[in-house]
Amino acid sequence: MAVTGWLESLRTAQKTALLQDGRRKVHYLFPDGKEMAEEYDEKTSELLVRKWRVKSALGAMGQWQLEVGEPALLGAGNLGPELIKESNANPIFMRKDTKKSFQWRIRNLPYAKDVYSVCVDQKERCIIVKTTNKKYYKKFSIPDLDRHQLPLDDALLSFAHANCTLIISYQKPKEVVMAESELQKELKKVKTAHGNDGDCKTQ
């Protein structure tokens, strides 16, 4: 029921779409004023970016908050080489999903795989990553499961380590796969502008 509710909210949101640089960019405006922007690979329909923006209590537009995609290094052009080097050495957390899994990558983690512990915290509804040498600790939620009101399952969680990058995967429940498939059908109904053809057209 929750999956249907979230899918219905996407269907009823005001949507605009733009095809640019091999990406299908979709903007959603919800009745409560929240905005969501997504970018999909034009050929594979793989989700590349998802971000949210909400209004402040005073009605001002807030900053975009990235949920899926690679964070940009803001202001890198103004940093000195020492600061850039230091920034590049710190762990970088990002989410990059596949068709079948939610997936997160944490770069700049040089420790051996057996140093890491990755588990589900059912009480807080989040995933916890930590190292036995106490050099790294992070916990994060899966907003998709919260929106669909689905439980977290340890059996769907796995991780790998290669090239100083920890890769954490959580297999998408069938309810999420079904909802994503239905959304793609819905997005095909949205009129799409191309490149610099002007403003995106509203559904």
| pLDDT single digits (tens) 5-43 | 888 999 999 999 999 999 999 999 999 899 999 999 999
Determine the average pLDDT of the residues in 77-103. Answer: 74
Evaluate whether 94 touches 69 at the Cβ level (below 8 Å): yes
Give pLDDT, residue 192: 82
Output the six-digit token pair for 107: 């770069």
Q: Which of 167, 166, 177, 104 is nearest to 135 (CA)?
A: 166
Model-wide pTM > 0.85: no
Q: How far is CA 127 from CA 44, 94, 181, in A?
A: 28, 14, 25
Is the CA virtual torsion 5, 7, 12, 13 positive or negative?
Answer: positive
Domains in the chain with CATH codes: 6-70+87-193 (2.60.40.790)
What is the per-residue pLDDT across 158-167, written as a single tens digit (0 to 9) for each? 999 999 999 9
